[in-house]
Amino acid sequence: MLLRLLDRYLLREMLVSFAAATAVLLMVTFGGSLVDVINKVARGKVPPPLLLSQVLLLGLDALTLLLPLAAFIAVLMAYGRLYRDSEIAVMSSAGMRAADLMRPLAFLAIPLMAALLALTFWGVPTALRVADRMVDQANRSLLVAGLEAGKFMNLPGGYGVVYVGELDSRGQQFKRLFVHRERDGRVDIVTASSGELFQDQNKAERYLRLSDGFRVEGSLGEPDFRTMRFQRNDLRLPEAESARRKRVQTRSSSFNLLRSGNRADHAELHWRLALPLAAGVLMLLAFPLSRSRPRESRYARTFAAVMGYVVYVNLLSLGRGWMADGALPAWLGLWWVHGIAIAMALALLLRGERMGRQRAIAATAT
């Protein structure tokens, strides 16, 4: 009964720290995602109505790196406080060993690793594909891009001012168009009786195809204005968010990666497996790193612990790139990185146990 009560106590301490760390990291991560998406909206690469959905969907990808870090910090904070307040010393004197103190880690690590496994193998690739599909569909419709019939609107990216009298239900064809653009002191005004929104053959660039209209251009304050009448005129819109610049592997289903013979696909598969494993390994590593003396500074070992996390994650990222380039064999994968971290954790645990026994012998002798 004593151990069960202590297990619940230790688990509660970790959950409180995990919730606090996750909340702070979520604000930072989603704040960065929000700034990135707002920048794309301002440049006309993402339609404004998709701002919130893009932040939420793309934020899932960052969540796979955020949660292992939150768990790592939670163990450092929870057990570090218990060591500083001498509560671990009291538990050890009551007969609890290091294995008993570490048992509550499994109650947090196992559900967390299962959640990360679902995210990396299914949730994140699906979310990225949905985000890309939403942007692609929005780029084919003026309605989704924020254009309304009967109102003067700014073109995406500050490209100019546009007015349309009528829009069809799909937001692709329009009537009675007026476009005003001004750049480097030159004014460009275009009117058309009808037109449509279309993409080029590669679907990389968007154009407004204008029919039966006039174009007036010239410099302000100068008598060099020209008027032209056209049967057809294509206006290029700002480049949309291109999927060609994105890593295809991150959006592929895990089943397709498993069947593929491509090295980059195998590297992506190992990366998806590495993140859930990293959460468990980091929690194991955080336990000996949280050990501190009574009344020792709260952040005495935090810097070393954070540096260990940075090195670990960067080695995983480097290993992913080496696998994709063929510098690492597929059978080795990223297991060597986990092996190094686990070996360090076990060495620290054994060192702590040996020092604890020496202190106990010295206390008995006196």
Beta partners for 179?
A: 162, 190
pLDDT for the residue 299: 58
Sheet strand arrangement including 206-219: 152-154, 161-167, 173-183, 186-199, 206-219, 226-236
Q: Terminus-to-terminus CA distance in the chain, angstroms?
A: 33
Q: Which of 308, 293, 274, 352 is nearest to 64 (CA)?
A: 274
Per-residue confidence (pLDDT) for residue 238, from 0 to 100: 60
CB distance 276 to 113 below 8 Å: yes
Which pLDDT score, from 0 to 100, does residue 120 have? 92
Say what the pLDDT of residue 239 is: 60
How far, in Å, CA of 312 to CA of 273, rounded?
15
Kindly report the number of other CB atoms within 10 A of residue 9's CB atom.
Answer: 14
Q: 142 with 153: CB under 8 angstroms?
A: no
In this structure, how many other beta carbons lie within 10 angstroms of the beta carbon of residue 151?
A: 9
Retrieve residue 310's tokens: 């940075």
Distance (Å, rounded) from C-alpha 180 to C-alpha 217?
10
Residues 170-185 as b or e (16 or more Cβ within 10 Å = b):
ebebbebbebbbeeee
What is the distance between the alpha carbons of residues 190 and 327, in angstroms, rounded to a whole number?
Answer: 56
In sequence order, what are the residues at sequence separation of 6 or more whose Cβ sits closer than 8 angstroms to the Cβ of residue 349? Answer: 98, 287, 288
| Helix (H) / strand (E) containing 278 | helix 263-289
Task: Write down the pTM of the prediction.
Answer: 0.73
Residue 104 is inside which H or E element, if any? helix 98-118
**What is the Cα–Cα distance from 86 to 255, expressed in whole angstroms?**
50
Burial class (CB in 10 A: 0-12, 13-18, 19+), 232: exposed
What's the 3-state SS for 72-93?
HHHHHHHHHHHHHCCHHHHHHH
Alpha carbon distance 190, 182 (integer Å): 12
Q: What pLDDT, on the 0 to 100 scale, is given for residue 355?
A: 53
Measured CA to CA, the distance from residue 323 to residue 101 in angstroms comes to 37
Contact 322, 328 (CB under 8 A): yes
Beta-strand runs (E) in the chain: 152-154, 161-167, 173-183, 186-199, 206-219, 226-236
C-alpha of 105 from chain center: 26
Residue 252, strand partner residues: none
Q: What is the pLDDT of residue 352?
A: 65
Contact 217, 233 (CB under 8 A): no
Q: Where are the domains of the chain?
A: 2-138+245-365, 152-239
Question: Positive or negative CA dihedral for 161, 167, 170, 173?
Answer: negative
Per-residue pLDDT, 115: 94
Q: Give the pLDDT of the chain (366 residues) as one tens digit per residue.
A: 445 778 888 888 899 999 999 999 888 888 888 888 887 776 666 777 777 888 888 888 888 989 999 999 999 888 888 887 777 777 777 777 777 788 888 899 999 999 999 999 999 999 888 888 887 777 666 655 556 677 787 765 556 788 888 777 666 778 888 888 877 778 888 888 888 877 766 666 777 788 888 888 888 777 778 888 888 888 776 665 554 455 677 888 888 888 887 888 888 899 999 999 999 999 999 888 887 766 656 555 677 778 888 899 899 999 998 988 888 888 888 999 999 999 988 888 887 666 555 454 444 445
Instruction: Report the pLDDT value the prediction gives residue 202, as an integer from 0 to 100.
Output: 64
